[in-house]
Structure 1
Amino acid sequence: MNIYGRSFHTLWGGNVICPVMYPDLHDYIVEEGGMEELTAALDPLGMKVSVTTGGGSFFVAWKDGTEEARKAISGSARQTQEDIARVQAFVTFLLEINDANGVLSREALVRAAEISTAIDSSAALRDSLSTVAMTLAVKNTATDHSRISGILSKMRDMGYLKLLSKEREEYIVTGRIDLFYDMMEHFASHIGAVEMAVQREEQGSLF
């Protein structure tokens, strides 16, 4: 499959293309005319290639103002709300361990050993670890290490981390974190609308 096809299917599958996760696809979009080609392919489908506020991370979204977009957003309100809560718990926990930059940003390194060292000297952090493991529905929580490994694996599966070293359990944060921050901002400014959409979904309303 050529780079256009790989880019299209990567985006269509709900992934975020960034320099960390897909450096070649990112270069194609930014430097090799990929944005124009992908936009032309997605436009008839009512979709578009969007870029996160900070720039550099690309994803597929519905075209603005369409009825399909409204229905899709309303229909996914509950899932969006739950996803935000899960990722927020993880981000907050990492910042409790190391908040040198004040924010968890793309390309930040996440090391299991650093987390383990931090919780060994703090009962509060160990409690936070347990809370995050529960929030992410980590199955194996018998030990601190299993909780840490489970949390990092979950975040990798969700696309927020890329594994750098399996042996050392070292990860790098991907551009999906940029999309998360955009979602957080949108959620904060439209919280009433999101909550109403969730309530309608719980009541089984049709859109």
Structure 2
Amino acid sequence: MFKQVAEALLSGHFICPTAYPDAYDYLSQPANADKIDAFLKPLDRTLLSLDGEVYYAAYTVVDDSNRGPIREAFAEVRSQLRPVVEWMDMVMTALGQDMPIRARDEIRMTQLLNAIEHEPSLSEQLNRLTQLTLFKTSKTAISEQLSWVLQKLEQSGYLVKPNPQGSLYLATGKIDYLHRIIAFLNDAEALELDKHAANAEDVEQQELFL
């Protein structure tokens, strides 16, 4: 199991109970987590965990040897940010939820499809989603569009489908990682606002952020 876990982490995968249950159980044992972390250290990486729900490998050093892969990983997350957030917003509205999707949440395509088909604004939102790069498709039927979006989310690691023949999807730990990125960006924006607010000569620029 050590080899499989190490390879998955080095490939950029997020290990959680829904996507990689066996690997997650392995890392949940402190002794195993320590072994993996010791293996990653000479590679300028470390094992990180988000509230014990998801494990991933993060770089500890940024230099010419890894700057390219880091940029690629960041570019991938950045390109997925808007489409996935808009999809989560659509799901919250369709299912009448107050909280955004988190790891281990269940999403049933049949339930989601029924809600979207009976609400024109949700159908329009789904259609807009399929114009974004991550979900782009020429499909026009609502059921086909929704199926396509869920497939792309599965391929991108945000969802898993326990039964290939079923309609149930489970959110993975990568969703929680995305929430952490959003929080980081929000904090960075707040810091930027504070910096401008402190500069009385920069009021016009401050207003642009507001």
| Range of TM-score over shorter length | 0.7 to 0.9
Q: How does 1:67-146 map to 2 (within 5 A)?
A: 67-68=62-63, 71=67, 75-76=71-72, 77-135=74-132, 136-146=134-144
How big is the shift at 1:78? 4.0
Residue in structure 1 matched with residue 44 of structure 2 by the alignment? 46
SS of residue paired to 2:46? strand
Q: Provide closer, same or farther for how the CA distance between residues 74 and 31 of structure 1 changes in structure 2, counting only shifts above 3 A.
A: closer
How big is the shift at 1:21? 1.1
- 1:192 and 1:43 mapped to 2: Cα distance? 33
Contact kept in structure 2, 1:93 and 1:128, CA below 8 Å:
yes
Q: How many percent identity over aligned positions?
A: 18
Question: Based on CA coordinates, which of the two structures has the bigger radius of gyration?
Answer: 2
Superimposed CA distance per residue, residues 35-79 of structure 1 (whole angstroms, 9 cap, x where no aligned partner): 111111110111111112x3320011111xx33399469734543
Q: How many equivalent residue pairs?
A: 189
How big is the shift at 1:137? 3.1
Contact kept in structure 2, 1:138 and 1:154, CA below 8 Å:
no
How big is the shift at 1:139? 2.3
How big is the shift at 1:163? 0.6
SS of residue paired to 2:131? helix
**Which is bigger in relative contact order (C-alpha 8 A, separation at least 6)?**
1
Q: Provide closer, same or farther for how the CA distance between residues 101 and 164 of structure 1 changes in structure 2, counting only shifts above 3 A.
A: farther
Any stretches of 5+ residues in structure 2 without a counterpart?
192-210
Residue in structure 2 matched with residue 196 of structure 1 by the alignment? none
| Structure 1: 4+ residue segments shifted above 4 A | 69-74
- 1:171 and 1:140 mapped to 2: Cα distance? 23
How big is the shift at 1:101? 4.7
Letter in 1 for 2:102: S
Contact kept in structure 1, 2:89 and 2:100, CA below 8 Å:
no
**RMSD between superposed Cα atoms in Å:** 2.5
Any stretches of 5+ residues in structure 1 without a counterpart?
194-207
Letter in 2 for 1:67: V
- 2:44 and 2:111 mapped to 1: Cα distance? 45
SS of residue paired to 2:175? helix
Alignment TM-score, normalising by the size of structure 2: 0.81
SS of residue paired to 2:53? coil
How big is the shift at 1:171? 0.7
